[in-house]
Amino acid sequence: MVTYKLTVAYDGTEFCGWQTQPGQRTVQETVEAAWMAITGEQVRVTSTSRTDSGVHARRQAVGVETASQLPAAKILTGLNAKLPEDVLVVSIENAPTGFHATYDAIGKRYRYQLHNDRRRPLFDLPYVWHVPQPLDIEAMQRAAQALVGTHDFASFQSAGSERESTVRTIFSVDILQGRGEDAAQVWIEVEGNGFLYNMVRIIVGTLVDIGIGRKPESWAAEVLAAVDRRVAGQTAPPQGLFLLNVNY
Amino acid sequence: MVTYKLTVAYDGTEFCGWQTQPGQRTVQETVEAAWMAITGEQVRVTSTSRTDSGVHARRQAVGVETASQLPAAKILTGLNAKLPEDVLVVSIENAPTGFHATYDAIGKRYRYQLHNDRRRPLFDLPYVWHVPQPLDIEAMQRAAQALVGTHDFASFQSAGSERESTVRTIFSVDILQGRGEDAAQVWIEVEGNGFLYNMVRIIVGTLVDIGIGRKPESWAAEVLAAVDRRVAGQTAPPQGLFLLNVNY
């Protein structure tokens, strides 16, 4: 048996998220079907994250254990030929025996893309949340710093999660704005050791409420301290969210 | 009567180009229908360019003469509310009486977007031409300089054009490559005082033949000197082409 780490990118628009669910089009099932088509082998892949319906990934790590004798380069080319247009294997590399993409990850980085302009988005429509009100980026950046560190993030979790602990460590929150003709582009990048269900999207919804002036700058810290989902902001819509990468 | 200059952006994927044609979905007809919906007035707009099926625009200038008393800001908001997702009016401004978007333009700038990577494109699939072979960008840049200046571009024109003269002036050709994770992004930007039918796409096809080593660097100059379409390279596909802006 050989263990590989695949790095997979996908456009989540037409997927019901990562994880296989009966009767739904999911990325996991699509990758496993392509694997079957080129190796004849039914595998069960592992992954760092179970992205939600409509969420995208640029470099998601996927583990697979295989008896196939095909060279890695042939597997890469074969998978990309079989996979539909909205999934791409970026790279394949050997991983240590027993590598498990979920348990071995030490951190993940997400980007949430906002389109901040009075006018609606055009070319990036499937990949942004349109916020027409002017955003106070500096207030958002300052407010976000309250979330950095090890905290109980229970306020930033949707119902439906099964995690035992709601304590996580956020390494950084960066808010980046485009220049010139890209000035409408506002990216919120969050890196941490793990994330609760909808955590990034609730952080973004909360920071946007601060950015448009609906809530004061101190509110992010108050929401965190409340340890109660009902006090946080809205959950930002899925199409702006990208899993950027996973660190091991 | 008031004359306005609209700046219009559109995703050309689902359009049969700019110009109204019976039984086809075109941008011109779509903009005129939105104008009718908000002012009740049937106008005939003018434009700098009649983009082909599948070609996009970021800042296309469109002239319209109107008897409507609506303030410009209301027209802008109204048009964007009525227009479908793939067309956006970026701005509206007063233009001198008699302004004609076609005849008054002194130059236009196009960008052609290549995806230069062994792996196929994912998120930018609708907006690039995928060239999997490595491109020699410097050879392309040097070859392109032969096209700058005033020349007879008959070699770079598709059949079906009705222009009387095939002499045009190219002000510049710039080839830009992304860095880091954007290294697959290669843009060819061409600015000139006017363009023949498919001219940018044939220039791109010719430069790509040089970039992949199928033709020598000197070939662009030879094609130009031949004044014969049959000697030029392939016509690059429409989805990589953007009209960037128009100068008056």
Domains and CATH numbers, chain B: 2-94 (3.30.70.580), 107-247 (3.30.70.660)
Amino acid residing at B162 = E
Query: Each residue of A9-44: pLDDT tens digit?
Result: 999 999 999 999 999 999 999 999 999 999 999 999
Cα four-point dihedral sign B209, B214, B217, B220: negative
Beta bridge partners of B150: B169
Cβ within 8 Å of A, B 145-164:
none
**Reduced to 3 states, what is the DSSP secondary structure of residue A127?**
helix
Q: Shortest CA distance to A148 belongs to which of A191, A201, A200, A197?
A: A191
Residue B90: which of A56, A87, A119 has the nearest Cβ? A119
Query: Each residue of B37-69: pLDDT tens digit?
Result: 999 999 999 887 788 899 999 999 999 999 999
Q: What is the pLDDT of residue B6?
A: 95
Amino acid residing at B94 = N
* Range A195-208 average pLDDT: 96
User: Count of CB contacts below 8 A, A vs B?
Assistant: 34
**Does A162 have pLDDT greater than 80?**
no
Q: Which long-range contacts (CB under 8 A, 24 or more apart) does B113-116 make?
A: B113/B185, B113/B186, B113/B187, B113/B240, B113/B241, B113/B242, B114/B185, B114/B186, B114/B187, B114/B188, B114/B204, B114/B208, B114/B240, B115/B184, B115/B185, B115/B186, B116/B184, B116/B185, B116/B186
The region, left, alpha or beta by phi > 0 then psi within -120 to 50, assigned to residue A227 is left
Amino acid residing at B39 = T
ipTM rounded to 2 decimals: 0.86
Q: What is the pLDDT of residue B162?
A: 63
* Residue of A106 and A85 predicted with greater confidence: A85
* Range A197-224 average pLDDT: 96
**Reduced to 3 states, what is the DSSP secondary structure of residue A97?**
coil
How far apart are alpha carbons A77 and A93 in whole angstroms?
Answer: 13
Q: Which residue has the tokens 């959950």?
A: A235
Which residue positions in chain B have pLDDT lower than 70?
101-103, 161-163
Q: What is the pLDDT of residue A163?
A: 66
Q: What is the pLDDT of residue A106?
A: 83
Angle at B116 between CA B114 and CA B118, to 5 degrees: 145
Average pLDDT taken over every residue of chain A: 93
User: Where does the pLDDT of residue A100 fall: very low under 50, low under 70, confident under 90, or very high at 90 and above?
Assistant: confident
Chain B residue nearest residue A181, CA to CA: B58
Residue A80: which of B9, B56, B119 has the nearest Cβ? B119
Q: Which residue has the tokens 């009075």?
A: A118
Using CB atoms within 10 A of its CB, is residue B199 exposed (0-12), middle (13-18) or buried (19+)?
A: buried
Strands A241-247 and A56-66, sheet pairing: parallel
Give kind and range of the element (H or E) at residue B33.
helix B27-39
Strands B107-115 and B241-247, sheet pairing: antiparallel
Query: Each residue of A64-79: pLDDT tens digit?
Result: 999 999 999 999 999 9
**Does A138 have pLDDT greater than 70?**
yes
Q: Shortest CA distance to A9 belongs to which of A40, A51, A43, A71?
A: A51
Q: Shortest CA distance to A88 belongs to which of B231, B123, B41?
A: B123
* Range A176-196 average pLDDT: 94
Q: What is the pLDDT of residue A134?
A: 97
In degrees and rounded to multiples of 5, residue B66 shows phi and psi of: -140, 150
CB contact set of A237 (below 8 Å; sequence gap of 6+)? A54, A129, A201
Predicted TM-score (pTM) of this structure: 0.91
How far does Cα B106 stand from its chain's mean position?
15
Mutation pick from B14, B27, B122, B185 vs chain A, by most beta carbons of A within 10 Å, is B122
In degrees and rounded to multiples of 5, residue B241 shows phi and psi of: -95, 130
CB contact set of B122 (below 8 Å; sequence gap of 6+)? A9, A10, A11, A85, A86, A87, A88
Catalytic site includes residue A52: yes
Query: With an 8 Å Cβ cutoff, is A11 touching chain B?
Result: yes
How far apart are alpha carbons B105 and B59 in whole angstroms?
Answer: 13
**Reduced to 3 states, what is the DSSP secondary structure of residue A123?**
coil
Residue B88: which of A10, A90, A120 has the nearest Cβ? A120
* Crossing angle for the helix pair A219-226 and A199-211, to the nearest 10 degrees: 140
Give kind and range of the element (H or E) at residue B39.
helix B27-39
Mutation pick from A120, A123, A125, A185 vs chain B, by most beta carbons of B within 10 Å, is A123
Query: Each residue of B117-127: pLDDT tens digit?
Result: 999 999 999 99
DSSP type of residue B216: -
